[in-house]
Structures are given as structure tokens and as C-alpha cells.
């Protein structure tokens, strides 16, 4: 059977109902590609051992760092190194973002809150 093709934006529109609820798009070795819609503001957090990559598929987001924000437009990509405290937030209505990180990475890193997702759904 050939690999399954996914249109990430269409799949996110169809299956993701809440902001900051990452869904697994696929597994790549010990890592995962996850898709989420972003909302107004996420928790400040860091990932002690994992780098985290963000690619904006639709809309605009900002990633706040303690020394200032970085704004990302559609098609923009950034890697947040492990240990760096950050807080993603939307700049447009429910932007769609692809994240690439180890499968064991918890979305809220070292912070636990109502936004923490431990049981990931799949697209």
C-alpha cells in the first residue's frame, strides 16, 4: 500500500475543532509532524531537551521570547532551540501551523495547564 497523502490545511480545517490542540500528521523516525490551529495566546514554556520547529501553513503567528517577539507569515519557518522559553500566539484568526518535534514532546513543555495535551489525535 502506498503512503497516504494529506493536505494539511484541508485536514486541519476538517478535523481540528479547538485552538492549541495538536494533531499528528505523521511519524518520522522518533519524531512527529503535528498540525495545530493557534489561538490568542499559549502558555510560556520551554522544552528542556527538545528543539521545536514551526512552519506557518496559513495565517500569521508570533512567537514571544523573553527578549521580544518574532512574527511569522505564511511560509515562514523557525526553530526554537531546546531550553528557550517561548509563547506562541496568533496574529490572524486560527492560523494553521506545522510543528516538527520528537514524539515524546509535550506541547506545554515544562508547564502544565488546561492547554496540556497528553492524548494526541491524528489527522
At 109 the pLDDT is 65
**Which has more confidence, 112 or 25?**
25
Q: H or E segment at 8?
A: helix 8-15
To which residue does cell 492547554 refer? 115
**Which has more confidence, 37 or 103?**
37
- pLDDT tens digits, one per residue of 55-83: 999 999 999 999 999 999 999 999 999 99
Alpha-carbon distance 73 to 69, whole Å?
13
At 1 the pLDDT is 85
Torsions phi, psi of 61, nearest 5? -135, 170
At 118 the pLDDT is 75
The CATH class of the 8-122 domain is mainly beta
- pLDDT tens digits, one per residue of 74-117: 999 999 999 999 999 999 999 999 999 988 887 766 777 777 77
Cα angle vertex 10, ends 63, 55, to 5°?
25
**Residue (of 32, 8, 46) closest to 99 by Cα position:** 32
User: Widest CA span of the chain, in angstroms?
Assistant: 49
pTM: 0.91
Q: From residue 40, how far is each of 51, 61, 104 by CA, in Å?
A: 23, 9, 25
Amino acid at each position: 500500500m502506498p503512503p497516504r497523502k494529506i493536505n494539511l490545511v484541508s485536514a486541519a480545517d476538517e478535523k481540528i475543532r479547538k485552538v492549541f490542540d495538536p494533531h499528528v500528521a505523521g511519524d518520522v523516525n522518533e519524531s512527529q509532524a503535528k498540525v495545530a490551529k493557534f489561538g490568542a495566546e499559549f502558555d510560556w514554556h520551554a522544552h528542556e531537551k527538545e528543539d521545536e520547529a514551526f512552519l506557518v501553513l496559513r495565517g500569521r503567528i508570533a512567537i514571544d521570547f523573553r527578549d521580544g517577539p518574532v512574527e511569522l507569515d505564511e511560509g515562514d519557518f523557525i526553530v526554537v532551540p531546546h531550553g528557550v522559553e517561548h509563547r506562541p500566539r496568533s496574529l490572524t484568526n486560527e492560523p494553521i501551523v506545522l510543528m516538527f518535534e520528537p514524539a515524546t514532546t509535550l506541547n506545554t513543555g515544562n508547564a502544565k495547564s488546561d492547554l496540556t495535551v497528553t492524548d494526541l489525535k491524528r489527522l
